[in-house]
Amino acid sequence: MRIGEIAQRAGVSTKTIRYYESIGLLPEPPRSGNGYRDFQVGASDRLEFIRDAQAAGLTLKEIASIIELRDQGRSTCRHVVSLLDGHLDELDRHISSLEKTRTKLSALRERARGLDPASCTDPNRCQTISLVSESHATGS
């Protein structure tokens, strides 16, 4: 199968396939007499796995570690679960941080609604933002 055919079958670009070859995610296929890459059907399965793993949030480095284990004939399930656990923990931390930021922004918005725009005399700063800086400086 030529690179265009396998790209279409796997739902990736030919550029992506060449990149995956260059970083070792996809073994370089044998070449036909005219120099074209001659992919086997299994390459399409690997490309689909890489695409699906990326969609699940795994990095190319993590995907490479899974492929390496599989190529060695080893089970990958525990490793994949560990990787997914790590991503879930990271996501939970990010969500927590976003929730704290949202709470702060909401409080800032409410405080800003009570300010008198006429009392904002600083030509370089908005009093709402200035109040945030002042409250951080005073530890409020």
User: Is this model's pTM higher than 0.75 or not?
Assistant: no
The pLDDT of residue 130 is 65
- Non-local (6+) Cβ contacts of 21 within 8 A are 27, 28
- Non-local (6+) Cβ contacts of 71 within 8 A are none
Tens-digit pLDDT string for the chain (140 aa): 899 999 998 989 999 999 999 999 998 888 888 888 888 888 999 999 999 999 999 999 999 999 999 999 999 999 999 999 999 999 999 999 999 999 989 988 888 888 888 887 777 778 777 655 555 555 55
